[in-house]
Amino acid sequence: MAYEYISVASEDGVGIITLNRPKILNALNLQLVDELVDQLEQMDRDPDIRVIILTGNARAFAAGADINEMAEASAIDIMKRNQFAVWDRISLISKPIIGAVSGFVLGGGCELMMNCDIVIASETAVIGQPEIKLGVMPGAGGTQRLTRVVGERKALEMLLTGEPISAKEALKYGLVNRVVPVEAYYQEALKLAKQIAQQPPLAVQVIKKAVYKAGDLPLQEGMDYERNSFYLLLASEDRKEGMQAFLEKRKPRFTGN
Ligand code: CAA
């Protein structure tokens, strides 16, 4: 697939996907989301990639779904497009996705950010779900994921006013992990991605999955899931290498096996 609206790079085991529709603030049209999910799935299959960064530019991570594409479409057109089904595939990506966000993080942009596992935000980020101002509501998780992270009261305030919150406030509500100056957000995300890329890849993926189970399962079922995942990792080569390296007082060399 040749990409028109994203660009792709890699560095030291980190795959980097940059949304690239700057003139209209990385508005997410159908093609952009198809390209993004295609590339995420490719990186997920690529053994040389261990962590993925998803970013935009300093002015905008993404200002939401492309309103031009939606403005004339009927309810039935949009239902037939089933345009959010492709988004569901993002939650099947097993490698960690680190969001490096700045500027406008609105609507579908906020929903995309919430699909990332860890988020580094620039101080200039403004984050929100303004769909109500267009007479609609979020359709890609904005009422569900946002509520799970920030709680019902803050979610209702954000969703019913449509007003964005600052990066600082997002940090307070656990919507982002770190806030850094705009000059530093991308490098900070890259540094973190490279750090995680050094970890044993199977453990990284199994831990990611287990953490999301915590939100879905009753505690004892979650504990059982965790225990079985723990047993599974004991069968990995990297477990042998990790423990051996500790005993030999050297740095481990993890292979992902
Ligand atoms: N779709 C299409 N085009 C968009 C866009 C969007 N979501 N957001 C911005 N643009 C375009 C603008 O139309 C403008 O294009 P032109 O230069 O051709 O006029 C260009 O990007 C720059 O934008 P502005 O001139 O408006 O820049 P600004 O700095 O004055 O304002 C902004 C920035 C506050 C983000 C404003 O553009 C805005 O409010 N955008 C819409 C945000 C929004 O409502 N997002 C939700 C979309 S619905 C959704 O996402 C549904 C879902 O759940 C998936």
pLDDT mean over 168-177:
98
Assess whether the C-beta atom of 109 lies below 6 angstroms from ligand 1: no
Q: Report helix, strand or coil for 246.
A: helix
**How many domains in the chain?**
2
Give tens-digit pLDDT for 62-105: 999 999 999 989 999 988 988 889 999 999 999 999 999 999 99
Residue 176 in domain: yes
Residue 257 in domain: no
Please give the full DSSP string across 30-76, using - where no structure is assigned: HHHHHHHHHHHHHHHH-TT--EEEEE--SSEEE--B-HHHHHT--HH
What tokens does 238 get?
Answer: 């990297």
Known catalytic membership, residue 157: no
Same structural domain for residues 27 and 115?
A: yes
Determine the longest span between alpha carbons in the chain, in angstroms.
66
Known catalytic membership, residue 108: yes
Same structural domain for residues 92 and 146?
A: yes
- Report the candidate in 78, 197, 56 with the shortest Cα–Cα distance to residue 137: 78
Residue 214 in domain: yes
Same structural domain for residues 213 and 111?
A: no
- Report the candidate in 103, 109, 19, 17 with the shortest Cα–Cα distance to residue 59: 103
Prediction pTM value: 0.97
Assess whether the C-beta atom of 141 lies below 6 angstroms from ligand 1: no
Distance, in Å, from the CA atom of 129 to the CA atom of 104, rounded to the nearest integer, reads: 11
Same structural domain for residues 117 and 220?
A: no
99 is in which domain, residue-wise? 6-197
pLDDT confidence band for 190 (50 / 70 / 90): very high
Q: If you measure from the C-alpha of residue 209 to the centroid of ligand 1, how many angstroms do you get, rounded to a whole number?
A: 34
Same structural domain for residues 151 and 232?
A: no
Give tens-digit pLDDT for 243-253: 999 999 999 99
Q: Evaluate whether 155 touches 128 at the Cβ level (below 8 Å).
A: no
Task: Identify residue 159 by its one-letter amino acid code.
Answer: L
Assess whether the C-beta atom of 103 lies below 6 angstroms from ligand 1: no
